[in-house]
């Protein structure tokens, strides 16, 4: 009997021993857990330091465009698993942004190589991360929205060849037309009240020069769109009287130019066109708010009746307004839009039968040095070194009292496609405050 009891006790002990050994072999480390996610950077509007919690109960907003992301865990992380394949930041409708991802201790740091897109929802995704003890981390996503106003969808986007948004820089957003020279430009609040988001010109020497800009007129069709906010205060000529505004120009009328008089009672585009025989000519798109009359210039097809100078001043004088000039080569027709409305149209087919301009085929650049350079100037009618009109009080860049532009420019776009009335209205409505 004693032997039987002893054998039974030994069997129970062995059973406990086997069970204990099996539990030790099956044990696995607890999953790694995220304890915090923070984005730190600098506000593009005022340069202030910003830190945002991305691990809160609600999606973070106004995350800085230059944010660096730090993800903290409750365990030491295997740095080899901290890669840009396992940790990504993706804007809505786009591809993952390029970023450097590093792991150290209990943290992962994500540093995008370029600024994030303004006003856009992004998703931070984390997966495949392991702890040094072999624990896996459950995959997670966090959404957030960057500060600022989101980019708009523009008509004829496939034909947009240049875009200057002046968001703290004078460079073209496409990368093809960077600023070659920037003089006395500040970046201030735009029409939406966003700081560091529009270019301000002082009316004395401010200019932005874009080199090799004759390429902008290499296509027959041409459209330029921009927002402007002229400032007439203390903007005077050599006699102390109010001065006019050369808003922009590519070799003046030998490419294209846009200007207004001191009282902002009319606007004028001057453009260069090529004829069938290879020769080139210039033609003005002049609009003063008056309707067509029997004495109107040949080729003018339509003018909106705004009641004259007062009507046009109500649109553009010392306030933000949207301007589009467009040329349709197939129709030989130029159009001018202000705040999304057609205000002027001219048609070369309406010229007399024997007029050379009946054979216009498209826009062109026909300037030559030293008179003008193939440089697009924002803030003046031509580049600093262009000699044309240098002997005049209004056309010499070196004179502070010349017709420099004083005010603000924003969202300058150039397209190699004509704009319809619907296109102009769509772009205005997309970009308006």
- Domain borders along the chain are 34-146, 159-431
Q: What percent of the chain has pLDDT over 90?
A: 90
Tens of pLDDT along 356-370?
A: 999 999 999 999 999
Count of beta carbons in the 10 Å neighbourhood of residue 4 = 8
According to the model, what pLDDT value does residue 28 have?
65
Q: Give the CATH class of 159-431.
A: mainly beta
pTM: 0.89
According to the model, what pLDDT value does residue 32 have?
80
Average pLDDT estimate for 421-425: 98
Tens of pLDDT along 55-83?
A: 998 999 999 999 999 999 999 999 999 99
Pick the CATH number of 34-146 from 3.10.580.10, 3.40.50.2300, 2.60.40.1220, 2.40.128.260: 2.60.40.1220
Closest CA to 286 of 319, 263, 262, 312: 312
Judged against a pLDDT cut of 90, whether residue 421 lies above it is answered with: yes
According to the model, what pLDDT value does residue 21 have?
43
More confident site: 20 or 143: 143
């Amino acid at each position: 009997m004693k032997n039987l009891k002893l054998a039974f006790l030994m069997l129970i002990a062995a059973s406990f021993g086997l069970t204990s050994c099996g539990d030790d072999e099956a044990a696995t480390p607890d999953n790694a857990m995220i304890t915090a996610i923070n984005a730190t950077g600098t506000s593009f509007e005022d340069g202030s330091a910003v830190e945002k919690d991305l691990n809160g109960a609600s999606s973070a907003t106004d995350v800085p465009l230059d944010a660096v992301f730090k993800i903290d865990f409750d365990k030491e992380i295997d740095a080899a698993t901290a890669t840009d394949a396992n940790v990504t930041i993706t804007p809505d409708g786009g591809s993952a942004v390029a970023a450097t991802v590093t792991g150290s201790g209990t943290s992962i740091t994500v540093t995008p190589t370029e600024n994030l897109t303004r006003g856009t929802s992004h998703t931070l995704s984390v997966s495949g991360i392991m702890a040094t003890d072999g624990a896996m981390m459950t995959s997670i996503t966090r959404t957030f929205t960057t500060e600022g106003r989101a980019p708009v969808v523009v008509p004829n986007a496939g034909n947009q060849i240049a875009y200057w948004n002046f968001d703290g820089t004078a460079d073209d957003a496409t990368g093809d037309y960077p600023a070659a020279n920037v003089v006395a430009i500040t970046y201030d609040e735009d029409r939406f009240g966003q700081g560091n988001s529009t270019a301000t010109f002082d009316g004395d020497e401010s200019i932005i020069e874009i080199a090799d800009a004759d390429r902008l007129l290499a296509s027959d069709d041409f459209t330029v769109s921009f927002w402007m906010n002229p400032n007439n205060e203390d903007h005077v000529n050599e006699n102390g009287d109010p001065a006019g505004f050369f808003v922009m120009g590519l070799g003046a009328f030998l490419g294209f130019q846009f200007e207004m008089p001191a009282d902002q009672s009319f606007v004028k585009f001057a453009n260069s066109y090529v004829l069938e025989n290879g020769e080139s000519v210039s033609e003005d798109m002049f609009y003063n708010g008056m309707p067509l009359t029997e004495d109107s210039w040949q080729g003018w097809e339509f003018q909106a009746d705004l009641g004259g100078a007062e009507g046009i001043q109500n649109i553009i004088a010392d306030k933000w307004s949207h301007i589009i000039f467009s040329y349709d080569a197939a129709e030989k027709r130029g159009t001018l839009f202000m705040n999304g409305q057609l205000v002027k149209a001219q048609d070369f087919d309406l010229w007399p039968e024997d007029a050379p301009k009946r054979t216009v085929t498209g826009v062109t650049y026909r300037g030559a040095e030293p008179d003008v350079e193939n440089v697009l100037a924002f803030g003046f009618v031509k580049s600093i070194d262009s000699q044309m009109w240098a002997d005049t009080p209004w056309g010499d860049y070196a004179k502070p009292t010349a017709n420099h532009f004083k005010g603000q420019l924003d969202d300058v776009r150039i397209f190699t496609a004509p704009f319809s009335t619907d296109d102009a209205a769509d772009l205005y409505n997309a970009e308006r405050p």
